[in-house]
Amino acid sequence: MALDVRRGFHHDLDLVRDDLVRLAGMVTEALARATQALLDGDLRVADEIITNDDRLDTLAVDIEERCYSLLALQQPVAIDLRALVAATRMVSEIERSGDLVVNIMKAARRLYGTELDPRLRGYITSLGSEVGRLFRLAMDAYADRNEGLAAALDDMDDAVDDLHEQYIASIFECHDRGVVALQSAVQLALVGRYYERIGDHAVNIGERVRYIVTGWLPEHTGVARVAAAGSPTRTPLTSADDDDDVGPGANGDAPPAE
């Protein structure tokens, strides 16, 4: 009986993983369509992407609620616990990325009829391509539990940041030459920020993958510094039995440094 329960639990874990990958696939597909719709001034596609965000939100809520149910009912430990905790955080990263795609489409509505400078079009195309690639790699790292790939995402994001800086500089230049009106320049700058933020969410997903595999988060480095200075880093649990083995750091000790 117990074996059947555990098998069912791991089946549910696999479904959570598969649905997270599906949710991210919805975002990357929408991102590619949104980039083309922005360049083409296609309001029909823009409206479709905005409307379809409800489907993405519905799946995100379903995944998150399943994770909470599994945490409550199965009381997982070790890597299974980390996988569920990470999933609750990752679903938020993915869902927020979907919201940013919607924001790009809302900006496309405001930019309708604006003639885009060829250089700006090139930067938008590159940003869409690089951010989509980064997001797909983040989910590949998650599906394969590939810590090395997850750790590399932060460095890969530098290319997105560089593109974003060049894009913003080009907007200023176009405005100075009178090619882009001020209101359009503001909307275009916001579009660049939305792409850049999606890239940041991909990096955050990578950090959660590393947490699943190793238990490490970037914040642990700062915690270790505070502990080294002699300050407590955890609040003791009054409900914990002193004789229970609740793990390192549960009663004020710092987690091990990376």
Q: Rounded CA gap, 19 and 31, in Å?
A: 18
Identify the architecture of domain 2-215 in CATH: Up-down Bundle (1.20)
Asked if the model's pLDDT at residue 80 lies above 80, the reply is yes
pLDDT tens, 138-161?
999 999 999 999 999 999 999 999
- The predicted model gives 216-243 an average pLDDT of 85
Asked if residue 150 lies in contact with residue 207, where contact means CB atoms within 8 angstroms, the answer is: yes
- Residue-level pLDDT at 6: 73
Q: Rounded CA gap, 83 and 17, in Å?
A: 9
Asked if residue 159 lies in contact with residue 130, where contact means CB atoms within 8 angstroms, the answer is: yes
Q: What is the pTM assigned to this prediction? A: 0.89
Asked if the model's pLDDT at residue 165 lies above 80, the reply is yes
Residue 3: pLDDT band (50, 70, 90) is low
Q: Where are the domains of the chain?
A: 2-215
Residue 4: pLDDT band (50, 70, 90) is low
pLDDT tens, 188-207?
999 999 999 999 999 999 99
pLDDT tens, 84-104?
999 999 999 999 999 999 999
Q: Give me the percent of the chain exceeding a pLDDT of 70.
A: 91
Residue 231 DSSP symbol: -
